[in-house]
Chains A and B, each alone.
Chain A
Amino acid sequence: MPRKWIFGLLIIGACIVGISVITMRQYSVYFYTPQEAKAQAMELSQKEIKVGGMVKPDSLHWNATALSLSFILTDLQATEIEVQYHGSPPDLLKENAGVVAQGRIMQTGLLFDAVKLMVKHSEEYKVPKDQHAINPELLKQSMFKE
């Protein structure tokens, strides 16, 4: 009897998990790539979406007095979308950073009006070179002329 229970419930559980994995793969996308967003800009412009890509080098413009930020979001291939944002951006938002922008895409697919910016980083954790080579004594000497 207990063995039947286990097998039955394991099968049910596996089915639930399998079905949810398959449906989540098909329908639930955490963010669109710039290419997908641009291609479906007509329908997607009706609702708030997330688009994920890279900040194109030399495209980041930050106006500190107006708190407005704009940059070009790219998939590093051919697709580029200009993102506009108002507010203070996350600390780690830099050129070449991965970013997930939440907001609305214009129907043309050229402009994205972001209400929230999130920075995605990779699984890499590297130590900067010569980190321990800085000699604090030198600053102390020049400060106090000991």
Chain B
Amino acid sequence: MHCISNRFLGLFLLSCVLATWGYGLFVAPSEFYQGEVYRILYVHVPCALSAFLSALCLCICSLRVLTQKHAASLWTARACAEVGLLYTLLTLITGSIWGYPTWGVWWTWDARLTTTLLLSFLYGCYLLLWHTLDSYSLRAKVCSVFGILIFIDVPIIYKSVTWWRTLHQPPSLLSPNAPMSSEILYPLIASVLVMLGFACWLIALRSENVRMQNEIEEALSHTAHARTPS
């Protein structure tokens, strides 16, 4: 029952995400300066913020592992890193697709792009560490400390466009200058919120899967142990 309700929630959130994409593609007005190409905003910004949210969840889970010895949080932490990696890659890909028609280049080594690429590497390193370290205690220590450190990159990515000269424009959301027409702003906020919800659902689903996978592996190793003496 729990599983079914979960599935319905996921389907609901996914259809909400697709609805906001459809709205952005077909209903939202075109933009004064960029014309139609700006519509990828409704995918790019939600993906980027979901990647940030995953880093925050990873940080919280890692803190719980270290301070409260909460073992199950280590599964959730791995799920956060996987979902975060997915969203970071989506951010880089959609950003690149947006960059070519507007900036004229697919990629440039400015601070925003470089720190985002760094985030994807950090997620990758975390997963590499997670899978390399077999013993629970070592994994809990090393991965959790690393998982906390990853979060430091998020405020750097966010502030990179105000700290340094970049090709990437400064943030439009949470800006005091009200740089967005409300017809563009409100659908964007909606698409961000449903995508964050979907990211949370993905993390929950994946951590449940990782936990079950681990239970099965443990059960199998127990039966293997039981068999060897006889």
Contact = CB atoms under 8 A, between A and B. Distances in A.
Contact of A126 (B32, B111, B166, B175): B32
Interface in B26-50: 29-34, 38, 41
Interface string A114-142: 00111111111111100110000000000
B22 interface: no
Contact of A125 (B104, B152, B180): B180
A118 B163 contact: no
A13 B179 CA distance: 35
Contact of B41 (A125, A127, A131): A125
B141 interface: yes
Interface residues of A, number: 38
Contacts of B66: 2-3, 5-6
B169 A122 contact: yes
Given A13-B149, A117-B104, A125 B31 contact: yes
A31 interface: yes
A19 interface: no
Interface string B167-183: 10111100101011101
Contacts of B183: 127
Nearest to A92: B102
Nearest to B169: A123
A21 interface: yes
Interface of B: 29-34, 38, 41, 63, 66-67, 101-105, 108-111, 141, 145, 148-149, 152, 156, 163-167, 169-172, 175, 177, 179-181, 183-185
Nearest to A116: B105
A93 interface: yes
Contacts of B38: 125
Question: A5, A118, A124, A126 — which one has the most chain B CB atoms within 10 A of its CB?
Answer: A124
User: Which DSSP category, helix, strand, loop or mixed, fits chain A's interface?
Assistant: mixed
B171 A9 contact: no
Contact of B34 (A9, A14, A21, A121): A121
A90 interface: yes
A145 interface: no
Contact of A118 (B108, B152, B170, B172): B108
Contacts of A127: 29-32, 181, 183-184
Question: A29, A31, A100 — which one has the most chain B CB atoms within 10 A of its CB?
Answer: A100
Given A30-B109, A123-B172, A131-B29, 8 more contacts: A2-B67, A5-B145, A30-B165, A30-B166, A93-B104, A125-B31, A125-B172, A125-B181
B33 A121 contact: yes
B156 to A, nearest CB: 7
B203 to A, nearest CB: 22
